[in-house]
Chain A
């Protein structure tokens, strides 16, 4: 079983939910969990929940990067934060991959500082999973969007590599034999979007190893037309925040409506079972986290608000990606491109 390093101090609910998630993983799997963080606080949490110590080791480290800190400053000036110590454990071979729910910018910078890019890969991509409409039974209700912020502006070569990386990841993790890859653009025609996107479109279209389904527009994102959507970091980040914002506004509006009128409250109550099913279907905690792709070592970034369940699933997904040799799969795909 692979060893997974977990940044115990990263995230809004760290270390409590992170440690509880790891404790659960220690009971449900044989994955070796290397918890990095304040040993005393980690142990305090462990002692209040069921766990299996045979699968847990702890690296004591009291410094941690806050969620609101400047990632550049923190990564540059503080060598012994839980995030960096966990990354060093991976880089030195004491763990095969790592998981963190901490500061996203710091996670990307840490990966760039400690992990080597796969040969031939020019830039790393931060992927994110988002809920989408499913078209057939058994289809993964979550699609992969990359990049969402690791590389702000991209050249065509980089976007082509993102498509290969996303496809390799989805093939292994979502068990889609031939994931449908699409390019996020302002029109479905291959001539739209400017020079870079047109070039990417042309190159992806000519790749027989890739199931490229063309361009998708913003309104196609949630329709399930593609399993992997490729875009540059700036656009991906805007899309991600927009989706999150809409979800929050929808929740706020529903809550306000429920407070205002009894009939609306009754209506929402009648719908509650359906809403709950929808929520479960698109619950990010079941996916655990999203990968930073392009490095020889895997880094799964969890949502900052991750609870124990999300962390458990992130640890499982990471171990699965290690076992299924996702970085090697990406390396092979990129080598074939050359």
Chain B
């Protein structure tokens, strides 16, 4: 029995899980660093669009695991891309066999008409509004998993959303943050109105950030342990497995897809697992359990001889003891919420969060 099965048994059996996905750089490998690439992305056909390795398998795995446990799983996409490219994206999702429950695009043309050019690049207001709207439509008891990347301000947006939902961030504290970011006044009003209605119990379990730019992981410490930066979707699957959202067979399916379709090796997956342990995302014991199950499933290489395995386990426990002694204390929360002032100081100029995240700490 895997640790995740034990954990999932402890959860309320039928609480639905809502997964909210960003699209570009999280689901799709979109390149729009230059104007030419932006144009190409806009006119790209569905069959030419490339998804991030393992992402489609992960979404399917979440749905399958939820169905296996009699738990509804809802998948939503929120994209800052304009609705004009929506058809190609919907076709791409259909090609990948992704069953989703909703998709929202950013009406860039409306901002253009209003002459609000700044809003074309500023996504915090738009995404917060859509997340809160989505929450109002979701079952009240639903747990949420949020997926973004390190190109835009996903870690900030999702953290604000989680803290607003959990009533850790009231309007008085939210307003100065939104103003400092430079969110459009209309959107600020909408966020405030929706926040009052959507706030309830703490609903966000994890925020996964796909490190597409390889942003240093230390950059995300200010966001606390809820935000989990991952280098590939195998790492995301392992974290979800340990949290009880996936079974071992689902994690194995994601790993197998990476090996069979994306040139990964068992060694690369093993190293990814080791990285999660060193960063404290999963415990040594959970990783050992998961590793053993994945080895049995043939996704990781067969283990070393017994003596060496015992030695590795012993070393791992020693490391865990050392880590407990030396690891920095969790990020202190100001009144339960994150220290957004410090986060914004770190991100510096509003609207430029992506570049700030990309800088080494």
Contact = CB atoms under 8 A, between A and B. Distances in A.
Contacts of A60: 315, 319
B216 A53 contact: no
B78 to A, nearest CB: 26
A51 B211 CA distance: 10
Nearest to A33: B271
A2 B300 CA distance: 18
Given A40-B326, A49-B360, A54 B218 contact: no
A55 B360 CA distance: 20
Interface string B308-335: 0000000100010011001000000000
Nearest to B215: A50
A55 B319 contact: no
B141 to A, nearest CB: 36
A39 B315 CA distance: 11
Interface stretch (B60-68, B122-130, B273-281): B273-281
B48 to A, nearest CB: 26
B14 interface: no
A39 B216 contact: no
Interface in A39-61: 39-40, 43, 46-58, 60
Interface string A75-99: 0000000000000000000000000
B279 A58 contact: no
A39 B231 contact: no
Contacts of A27: 214
A54 B264 contact: yes
A220 B214 CA distance: 48
A54 B231 contact: yes
A32 interface: yes
Interface residues of A, number: 19
A53 B274 contact: yes
A17 to B, nearest CB: 14
A54 B216 contact: no
A56 B361 CA distance: 20
A48 B359 CA distance: 10
B278 A58 contact: yes
Contacts of B215: 50
A58 B271 CA distance: 9
Question: Which of B271, B279, B315, B319 has the most chain A CB atoms closer than 10 A to its own CB?
Answer: B271
B194 to A, nearest CB: 36
Given A47-B216, A49-B216, A49-B360, A54 B272 contact: yes
A27 B212 CA distance: 12
B272 A50 contact: no
Interface string A89-131: 0000000000000000000000000000000000000000000
Contacts of B213: 50
Contacts of A53: 231, 235, 271-272, 274-275
A54 B231 CA distance: 8
B214 A50 contact: yes
A177 B217 CA distance: 45
A57 B361 CA distance: 22
Given A48-B360, A60-B315, A43 B216 contact: no
A208 B322 CA distance: 60
B214 A52 contact: yes
A58 B215 CA distance: 20
Nearest to A43: B278
15 contacts: A46-B217, A47-B217, A47-B218, A47-B279, A48-B361, A52-B214, A52-B231, A53-B231, A53-B235, A53-B274, A54-B268, A54-B271, A54-B272, A56-B275, A57-B271
Given A60-B315, A60-B319, 10 more contacts: A46-B217, A47-B216, A47-B279, A50-B213, A50-B360, A53-B235, A54-B272, A55-B271, A56-B275, A58-B274
